[in-house]
């Protein structure tokens, strides 16, 4: 999974930075960006995503993997 901020949608309200400073930080333009891909299942990440008024935060599957040729989507033991 990859945590992203769509900066074209971010209005710099600060809700994500306040709710989850471990994952979000303002850049020099006053827009939020992601600073960590660790602990993406934490409650703070969910709270930050839910708190964003413009739905600018996305938690996405890794785009580079299309799973035709690798095992990344298989359960362990398959």
Q: Given the rule CB under 6 A, which residues bind ligand SF4?
A: 5, 10-16, 32, 51-54, 56-57
Minimum CB distance to ligand SF4 smaller for 8 or for 71: 8
> In the bound complex, what is the minimum distance in angstroms from residue 68's beta carbon to ligand SF4?
33
The rounded Cα 63 to chain-centroid distance in angstroms is 13
> In the bound complex, what is the minimum distance in angstroms from residue 24's beta carbon to ligand SF4?
6
Minimum CB distance to ligand SF4 smaller for 21 or for 53: 53
């Amino acid at each position: 999974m990859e945590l992203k901020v769509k900066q074209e949608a971010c209005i710099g309200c600060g809700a994500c930075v306040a709710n989850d400073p471990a994952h979000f930080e303002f850049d020099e333009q006053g827009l939020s960006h992601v600073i960590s891909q660790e602990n993406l299942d934490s409650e703070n990440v969910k709270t930050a995503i839910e708190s964003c008024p413009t739905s600018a935060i996305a938690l996405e599957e890794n785009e580079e993997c299309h799973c035709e040729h690798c095992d990344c989507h298989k359960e362990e033991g398959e």
